[in-house]
Structure formats: C-alpha cells, structure tokens
A and B are shown apart, each in its own frame.
Chain A
Amino acid sequence: MIPVEIFSDIKNSFGSLWKIKERGNTLEIITPFATTNDKFVSVFLTMSENSFVISDGGWVHNGLYIDTEFPDDSNFKKVLYHYQNTFNISETKNRAGVLYYYLKVDDKIDIPSAVFDISTFIQSIISTSEVNFEDIKERELKKRFDTNANNFIKSLIPKDKFKMNAFLNPDKKDLKFNVIYTPKKDAIILLNYITGSNLNHFSSSIFKTNALFEMAHDTLISKFITSEIALIDNTAEGFIQDRIAHYISHLERLKNTKSIYWSERENLKSLLN
C-alpha cells in the first residue's frame, strides 16, 4: 500500500507552484500549468467596477512564450478555435494591436474557474504551436521535382528569357508560376509543375495549375500568352493514372493548354522552340 503522505507531497509541491507578482492594478498569477516548451503559464487578474478580468496579458501574441512567429497553419487554427470555443475565451486588441485573450466574470466566486479555464487554454495552444503540421514527405517530393524540372528547363531555353517561381504581374503578386518564358517580346509561355506524394495532393496540384491557367486568361496580359504547359510528374506516388485522367483532360480543355509527362519531357523541346 502506498503511504498517503505521498499524496500530501504531490499536493504541496503542486500548490507551491502558485505565485503572484503585483503589477500596478493587476495581479500576475503564475500557475502550475506548464507548456511543452517549459514555460509556466501566467494569467493577469484585474478588478474593474463591477467585474473581474482574467487575461493572458497579451503574452501569447507578444512573443513571451514562443520565440518564433505565431503559427498561421490551418490545422493549428482548428485546434486554437476548438479550445477558444470550449472555454468561451473572448479576444480584444490593445492600442499597439496586440491580441489579448480574456475571460470576464461578475461574481468573485467564478474567478478560480476562469483562471483554471484560461490557463488550460494558454497551456494547450502554446504547446500545440510547437507541433509541425507540415507534411514533410510532400514538401521534400515537391522540392525534388521542382529542382529536377527547373534544371531541365534551364538546359532548354536561354537564360535571359525566363523567370522561375515568378508572378505574372509583379505588382499584383497573385498569380505565381513555376516558369514564365518570354521567347519573343510579345509572347509568353507559362509553365507549371504538377506532382504530389498521394492522390489527394496530386489532384490538388492539378486543380491549382488549372485555376492559375484560367485566371491568367482573365488578365490584361492574356493576349500575349501563346501557350500554357503543365509538366506532370508521372513518377510520383500520387500519380494514379485512372484516378486522375479526367482531371488532366479537364485541364487540357483550356485553349492553348498542353500537358507533358515527365517521362516524355523531351517533347517539351518542340513546344518551347
């Protein structure tokens, strides 16, 4: 039987982690909740006329808990909103534009519960901000194919006549293509690469290229575009021909749009010259 004193030790150790620091009209409460990057969560309690505010002090967005930029990833945001909704956390901004998270209670009896909720919220989102949601396999495949394709294109066309990873309209910065080739003064050929480590990524890559080509047609520059070429990585794991064939034929329905498989890349020569 484990002696009961051990429980007292646990309780006392936990309890002694609570600390306070007076900051003007606000009390900083250092809580026993710690994040995965080893920071103890602090919350800030202020009394106003008829209510109590318990905030994060702007620390979440002020770089106090994390050195890097606050994540913008959609997966991260799902987690953030989940916790924010669960604990009903409000937000506001200070004059400098820093986002604050807070809870407001009217009755003193609700303060401990609010401290508990906002601490759990801060602990959860700071810890989650350390998770890398990026698909590493996809990123590496894309990087590899981009490098191979770029090197191949460079061997085909003169250096001063193309731009890589460039915006069609540099001022607007919205439509970005893998290659923008200007063989003559009044002619533009657009190239985009399609790849993906699984079927989902691969089809998204097709849709993205399709949308970019379509949107290029709606610009003032469209009359100069002589052709649009999709270079398709048919060696990628996500290339499952019978599942994507209809997406590719949809892409090719656009006027002047052609697709070339990586394994048949030699055919690009005649299209670019």
Chain B
Amino acid sequence: MQNILINLLFLNNHKSLEIYINMATKAAKSIKENYEFYNNLLQKRKSIFSRIIDIKEVGNNHNTLEKIETVHHEEIEDPMVLIVDVKLNNHNFFQFKLRYKEYLEQPFFRFDSDGETHRNKLKGVPLDQQQVTPPHFHKFNENGIEIAYKTDKLTDENERKALEDINLCIVHFFHESNLRLEEDDFPQIIIESDSLGLTFANDDPNSNVNFL
C-alpha cells in the first residue's frame, strides 16, 4: 500500500512538473507537433460569407469594438473565425485575427496595426533585428513559437501609410492568409460610428488623463 501511495504521489508531482515546463517554454504544442497542418490552415483557400463587416458591438475588452465572422476551410469541420477588433477611441488601431479554438486557444494568425513591439527571440538573429514594431503580422514558426513579421508592403513607407485605411488593410490581410469573399472578392468594413460622421483617431494615450 505504501508503495502504491508513493507511486501515485510521484505521478502527481511529475504531472505538475510537466505543466510548469510547458508554461516555461510557451511553445504551442499542437503547432509544433504537426507543422504541416498549421501551414495547411494558413495557406489553403478559406472563405467568409459577409460582404459587409459591420462593426458596432463592444467586445470582450471594454475598450474594443468587435465583429466575429465565420470562416470556411474545406478540410475543417470545427468552427474557425475571423475576428475584427477596433479600439473605441482610436479607429486607426485595429486587429484582424484568425482563430480555430479547437486547435489553439489563441489566434493562429493575426495582424496588428498599432500597439506593442514584439521580440522574435531567435538564435542567429541579431538583437536589433529581433525587434518588430507594429504594424506587423503574427504567426507561428515550426517550433510553435509566435513570431511577428512585416511584409514588403509594410516595410515600404508609402504603402504602410496607405494600409492605415482598414479597408485597404483587410485586403492585404486576406491575401496574406489566403482568405476571400466568394470567388476573388473582399469584404467592406463599416464602423458604425464613422458613418455617423464621428471618427475617433486619438492615438495619444496620455491625452485626457489627469496626472496629479
């Protein structure tokens, strides 16, 4: 009996240890184990069905407007979604995310127009090149590590400037993730408050804050 108890205890600790190790590396296991499947998710043609993406509801985060659209991928049955997030007080700060929850809890592909700067902590990459400012895309590498990158369009200053327009940018996102509306078309995004003549483009987080 004593032996059985000790074994059970060991097993229990071993499991805990595994949880800690997974937390420490933070690699997405499902991606690392089958990278071909991940590439298939990203590269195969996907479709959405709404011609107009109408953004008016406040999402999970109270400072963000959010719209969720169903995405069809012919080899996948579980729901996959496109999430379009726009910051309430700054409509130039938007994110497009592709999420397939059964496979990975967090989005497996993402675009950030603004926000935090990412570090690609990779061996062989010089420190200064590990820093990727927004706008940038996020995807996962073959080791299941999330990395940020800029496309040629995002590196070109004129093109980058043009892509501040959410409707031009979603076309770029659709190309990058092989997503389409019907044959070879793209949806239009309408932010409700914008159509009322109110645009919010305050990207200064310190404005209107009372620092005593």
Contact = CB atoms under 8 A, between A and B. Distances in A.
Contact of A17 (B20, B121, B127, B204): B127
Interface in A17-71: 17, 19, 21, 23-26, 30, 34, 37-40, 42, 44, 46, 48, 53, 55, 57-59, 62-65, 67
A255 interface: no
A102 B211 contact: yes
Contacts of B34: none
- Which of A67, A92, A136: most chain B Cβ within 10 A? A136
Given A14-B127, A46-B206, A59-B116, A96 B211 contact: no
A19 B205 contact: no
A14 B126 CA distance: 10
B128 interface: yes
B118 to A, nearest CB: 6
Interface residues of B, number: 37
Contacts of A38: 118-121, 146
Interface of B: 12-13, 16, 19-20, 23, 26, 61-63, 88-89, 106, 115-121, 126-128, 131, 133, 146, 202-212
B2 to A, nearest CB: 13
Contacts of A132: 20, 23
A98 B63 contact: yes
B106 to A, nearest CB: 7
B127 A95 contact: no
Given A19-B133, A55-B206, A55-B211, A39 B63 contact: no
Contacts of B63: 62, 96, 98
Nearest to B209: A94
A26 B116 contact: no
A96 B62 contact: yes
> Range of interface residues on chain A?
35 or more
A137 B207 contact: no
Contact of A25 (B26, B206, B211, B212): B206
A58 B89 CA distance: 13
B211 A40 contact: no
23 contacts: A23-B204, A23-B205, A24-B202, A24-B207, A26-B204, A37-B26, A38-B118, A40-B117, A40-B119, A44-B205, A44-B206, A53-B211, A55-B206, A57-B205, A62-B61, A92-B210, A92-B211, A92-B212, A96-B62, A96-B89, A100-B211, A104-B211, A132-B23
